[in-house]
């Protein structure tokens, strides 16, 4: 009996020790948001939950600075290994002006999934099934409560948590240097050798953190060998105006990555098009973890001050809005630095909280919501070849008409009024659809492919016109060389002249015969001795590859067990 009692006492001690250990582990969780794009006002930890107080910064109309609401959130939690805490955020979410005040059915967090990452690079979504949205519609938004958890233990000691997949200022800097290192990009006329067009002013954010001055960037993408006195198509692209709208920045990144890629279609576009890019419209706000405002003016939306002349304080010169002025004046100078009076296309990349009024049968989000483009409500814009091509390439994209004019003080209005843009578009990505980064990067690629299809691609290209720009030239040989060795499912642009799904010497022979030809074809010149030698070498390479492959297969069959 004594032994039994001692056993019970030991078991009880072990249980108490285990509970105390668990409680201590959770209590040791610490949170930090003092880094690039980080955003959190305060927090507290209990045994079962991490209680978060969101950053109160300017969101929109009825959500000015000081309104006790939250939107952008990004922090690192340490001490979470083998724990599954519930995160709770009290107070009103800083939505937009649509459907306000919100109900449970149309609340901007109804479909939303927060994200987490162990390394700050690879992101996953918290399961929607574990979310709760409480006290909505009780007449007091201060009682609102949003909770989320993983549903299983974290497998590492540190985890990053954010409202949406972050895009830091540091990533923009690194990406800019990658772009400028490409043979197809240079700093613009307004920038220095590193692409720097100026700096944001240093300052103190709404929670007392010192934010340093930050470089602002711009670059020009084109094939410099085709520059001449003849104007090229001109495209101007910009992003990051609203600091927390990160999905639009990923779409911008996907476009730029494709523009400087080896894709023969991108090469053909570069031959006849210049793209001027501005990736850091609001470097200070992004670094400081703000929502829609800039550090210098933390209680206004910068997208209402794009005007270069002093008028009723609705401009960027009086009082001075430094980052806007630097970017705006750089755009004007860069446009004037190359031939041509017009800008064929201006694109401003944004993201949006869920908007249940912008939906359609092709929308893939809840209620048919999805990404959209604000298109000026006139026939020229609605039927613009680039826009029509983009909608074909990106079927989920919705169309929303805009009343923007050259007098509007938005960035797209600035483009119409001061950059002579023939088409000026805001592209919006809706939050709350839980898509990976790759989706937005592919979308960006399609934005570029739509330019290629609208301006470069011809209807009936010759078989050897692999980039389908209307002539058979060295660019097509480069496309064939890039695709050579593709053994299945090859596309025409990869160098498949005879439509057999393979890129080989036979396709090179077609290019050799059609070199110099245009659509419709013209007389075919005789091949030179050098070209014949090159053709022979390619055939020899292919024959060696095929024979070597057969020998390997035979050897594998001989070694196979019987």
- The structure tokens 């739509």 sit at 450
Please count the structural domains in the chain.
3
Host domain of residue 243: 180-455
Torsional sign, CA 491, 494, 498, 502: negative
Cα Rg, the chain, nearest whole Å: 28
**Mean pLDDT computed over 433-451:** 99
Same domain, 402 and 372: yes
Same domain, 26 and 86: yes
Q: Is the pLDDT of residue 473 over 50?
A: yes
β-strand 219-221 against 215-217: which pairing, if any? unpaired
Q: Is residue 9 part of a domain?
A: no
Same domain, 189 and 83: no
Which of 455, 490, 510 is at the close of a domain?
Answer: 455
**Mean pLDDT computed over 530-551:** 47
Q: Are 241 and 425 in contact (CB under 8 A)?
A: no
Which of 424, 455, 486 is at the close of a domain?
Answer: 455
Same domain, 141 and 31: yes
Give pTM, 2 decimals: 0.90
Using 50, 70 and 90 to split pLDDT, how confident is the model at 503? Answer: very high
pLDDT in tens, 162-206: 999 999 999 999 999 999 999 999 999 999 999 999 999 999 999
Same domain, 399 and 514: no
Same domain, 24 and 107: yes
Same domain, 530 and 383: no
Helices 246-259, 264-272: crossing angle, 10 deg rounding: 90
Does residue 428 carry a catalytic annotation?
A: yes
Q: Is residue 30 part of a domain?
A: yes
Q: Is the pLDDT of residue 467 over 60?
A: yes
pLDDT in tens, 218-257: 999 999 999 999 999 999 999 999 999 999 999 999 999 9
Mean pLDDT of the chain: 90
Position 520 scores a pLDDT of 66
What is the 8-class DSSP label of residue 469?
A: S
Q: Is residue 175 part of a domain?
A: no
Q: Is 554 helix (H, G, I), strand (E, B) or coil?
A: helix
Q: Cis peptide before 307, with omega less than 30 degrees from 0?
A: no
Question: Which of 248, 301, 349 is closest to 59 using CA atoms?
Answer: 301
Position 175 scores a pLDDT of 99
Q: Is residue 12 part of a domain?
A: no
Q: Is the pLDDT of residue 6 over 50?
A: no
Using 50, 70 and 90 to split pLDDT, how confident is the model at 27? Answer: low
Same domain, 157 and 184: no
Q: Is 86 helix (H, G, I), strand (E, B) or coil?
A: strand
The distance of Cα 231 from the centroid of its chain, to the nearest Å, equals: 29
What is the DSSP track for 190-251? Answer: TS-TT-EEEEPPPEE-TTS-EE---EEE-EEES-GGG--SSPPEEEEEEE-SSTT-HHHHHH
Which of 391, 421, 455 is at the close of a domain?
Answer: 455
Same domain, 435 and 503: no
Same domain, 288 and 206: yes
Position 100 scores a pLDDT of 81
CATH number at residue 389: 3.40.630.10
**Mean pLDDT computed over 27-53:** 94
**Cα 458 to Cα 453: distance, rounded to the nearest angstrom:** 8
Number of DSSP helices (H) and strands (E) in the chain, helices first: 13, 24
Same domain, 422 and 527: no
pLDDT higher at 553 or 465: 465
Q: Is residue 467 part of a domain?
A: no
pLDDT > 90: percent of the chain: 82
**Mean pLDDT computed over 438-444:** 99
- The structure tokens 């030239």 sit at 473
Q: Is residue 395 part of a domain?
A: yes
Same domain, 201 and 142: no
Name the catalytic one among 92, 108, 274, 428.
428
Q: Which helix (H) or strand (E) holds 185?
A: strand 185-187
Q: Is residue 242 part of a domain?
A: yes
CATH number at residue 156: 2.60.40.3120
Q: Is 320 helix (H, G, I), strand (E, B) or coil?
A: strand
Q: Is residue 314 part of a domain?
A: yes
């Amino acid at each position: 009996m004594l032994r039994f009692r001692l056993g019970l006492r030991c078991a009880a001690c072990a249980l108490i020790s285990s509970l105390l250990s668990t409680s201590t582990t959770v209590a040791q969780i610490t949170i930090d948001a003092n880094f690039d794009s980080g955003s959190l006002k305060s927090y507290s930890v209990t045994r079962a939950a991490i209680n978060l107080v969101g950053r109160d910064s300017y969101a929109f109309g009825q959500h000015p600075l000081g309104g006790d609401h939250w939107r952008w959130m990004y922090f690192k939690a340490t001490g979470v290994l083998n724990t599954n805490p519930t995160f709770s955020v009290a107070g009103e979410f800083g939505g937009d002006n649509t459907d306000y005040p919100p109900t449970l059915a149309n609340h901007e967090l109804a479909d939303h999934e927060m994200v987490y990452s162990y390394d700050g690079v690879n992101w996953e979504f918290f399961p929607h099934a574990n979310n709760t949205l409480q006290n909505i519609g009780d007449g007091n938004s201060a009682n609102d409560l949003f909770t989320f958890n993983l549903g299983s233990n974290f497998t590492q000691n540190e985890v990053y948590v954010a409202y949406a997949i972050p895009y830091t200022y540091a990533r923009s800097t690194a990406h800019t240097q990658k772009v400028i290192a490409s043979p197809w990009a240079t700093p613009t006329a307004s920038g220095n050798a590193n692409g720097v067009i100026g700096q944001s002013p240093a300052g103190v954010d709404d929670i007392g953190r010192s934010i340093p001055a930050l470089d602002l960037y711009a670059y020009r993408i084109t094939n410099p060998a085709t520059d001449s006195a003849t104007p090229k198509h001109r495209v101007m692209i910009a992003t990051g105006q609203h600091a927390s709208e990160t999905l639009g920045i990923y779409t911008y990144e996907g476009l730029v990555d494709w523009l400087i890629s080896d894709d023969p279609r991108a090469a053909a576009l570069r031959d006849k098009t210049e793209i001027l890019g501005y990736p850091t419209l609001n470097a200070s706000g992004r670094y400081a973890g703000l929502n829609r405002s800039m550090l210098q003016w933390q209680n206004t939306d910068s997208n209402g001050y794009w005007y270069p002349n002093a008028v009723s304080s609705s401009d960027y010169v009086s009082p001075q809005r430094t980052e806007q002025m630097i970017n705006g004046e750089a755009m004007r100078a860069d446009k004037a630095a190359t031939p041509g009076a017009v800008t064929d296309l201006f694109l401003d990349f944004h993201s949006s909280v869920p908007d249940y009024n912008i939906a359609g049968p092709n929308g893939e989000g809840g209620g048919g919501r999805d990404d959209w483009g604000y298109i000026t409500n006139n026939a020229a814009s609605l039927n613009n070849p680039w826009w029509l091509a983009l909608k074909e390439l990106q079927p989920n994209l919705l169309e929303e008409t805009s009343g923007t004019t050259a007098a509007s003080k938005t960035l797209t209005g600035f483009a119409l009024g001061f950059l002579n843009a023939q088409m000026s578009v805001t592209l919006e990505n809706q939050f709350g659809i839980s898509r990976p980064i790759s989706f937005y990067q592919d979308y960006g690629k399609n934005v570029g492919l739509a330019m290629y299809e609208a301006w470069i691609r011809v209807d009936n290209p010759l078989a050897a016109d692999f980039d389908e720009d209307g002539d058979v030239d060295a660019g097509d040989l480069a496309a064939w060389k890039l695709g050579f060795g593709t053994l299945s499912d090859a596309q025409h642009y990869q160098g498949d002249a005879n439509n057999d799904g393979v890129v080989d010497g036979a396709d090179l022979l077609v290019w050799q015969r059609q070199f110099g030809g245009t659509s419709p074809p013209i007389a075919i010149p005789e091949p030179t001795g050098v070209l014949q030698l090159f053709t022979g070498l390619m055939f020899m390479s292919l024959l060696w590859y095929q024979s070597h492959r057969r020998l390997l297969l035979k050897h594998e069959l001989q070694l196979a067990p019987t």
